[in-house]
Amino acid sequence: MPEIMIEADADATHLARLGVDRWPVWEKEVSEFPWTYDTEETSYLLAGRVIVTPAGGAPVEIAAGDLVTFPAGMACTWKIVEPLRKRYRLG
């Protein structure tokens, strides 16, 4: 199964090349919920911290400044431990 890919403290030039500042914004309070990715998603965390645990896998902590790619078909549990604000791109 493909893994969650994390680029910690993503470089501003790389973010600009991806057009992250034009991606939609998603926000969520402290909470826990199941999620399944129908398509690949790339996210850039603007604020907050989350622990994502893939089904049958080890927990992965993601925090503000991280650029993350979630693989299509991955089922997981999201545990938001600090209010989250992210930009995202599907596909």
Q: What pTM did the predictor assign?
A: 0.93
Q: Within a 10 A sphere around the Cβ of 84, how many other Cβ atoms?
A: 23
Q: Within a 10 A sphere around the Cβ of 62, how many other Cβ atoms?
A: 22
Number of domains in the chain: 1
Q: What angle do CA 90, 54, 1 make, to 5 degrees?
A: 80
CA 14 from chain centre, in angstroms, equals 17
Which CATH number goes with the domain that contains 14? 2.60.120.10
Residue 28 is part of which domain span? 5-90
Q: What is the C-alpha to C-alpha distance for residues 13 and 82, in angstroms, rounded to an integer?
A: 27
Q: Model confidence over 26-73: pLDDT tens digits?
A: 999 999 999 999 999 999 999 999 999 999 999 999 999 999 999 999
Percent composition of the chain: helix, strand, coil (DSSP 3-state, to 5):
10, 55, 35
